[in-house]
Amino acid sequence: MPLDILMPYWGDPALAQLTVRSVLAQHNPDWLLTVVDDAYPDPTLREWLAGLGDARVRYVRQEHNRGITGSFRACIELATQDRVVIPGCDDVLLPNYVDVVLDAHRSDPSVEVIQPGVQVLDADGQVVRPLADVVKGLMRPRGGVVLAGEPLAAGLLRGDWLYWPSLAFRRQALVATPFQPGRRVIQDLALVIDLVAGGARLLVEPTVCFGYRRHESASAPGPERFAGEREYFRHAADQMAALQWRRARRAALGHWSSRLHAVSVLPRTVLSRPGDVPALLAHAAMPGSWER
- As averages over each run of 10 residues, the pLDDT of the chain (292 residues) reads 97 98 99 98 97 97 95 97 98 99 97 98 94 88 93 96 98 96 89 98 98 78 81 96 98 86 74 76 64 43
Q: Which CATH architecture has domain 3-213?
A: Alpha-Beta Complex (3.90)
Gap between the Cα atoms of 63 and 22, Å rounded = 27
Count of other CB atoms within 10 angstroms of residue 284:
18
What are the backbone dihedrals phi and psi of residue 165, each rounded to the nearest 5 degrees, phi first? -65, -20
| DSSP annotation of 118 | E
- Provide CATH 3.90.550.10 ranges for the chain: 3-213
Taking the mean position of all CA atoms in its chain, how far away is CA 19? Answer: 16
| β-pair partners for 145 | 204
Count of other CB atoms within 10 angstroms of residue 162:
20
Cα-based distances in Å from 198 to 108, 176, 194: 18, 10, 6
DSSP-derived 3-state class of residue 33: strand
Gap between the Cα atoms of 143 and 103, Å rounded = 14
Gap between the Cα atoms of 43 and 65, Å rounded = 15
DSSP-derived 3-state class of residue 168: strand
DSSP-derived 3-state class of residue 281: helix
Query: How much is the pLDDT for 219?
Result: 57
Query: How much is the pLDDT for 274?
Result: 80
Query: How much is the pLDDT for 37?
Result: 98
| β-pair partners for 75 | none
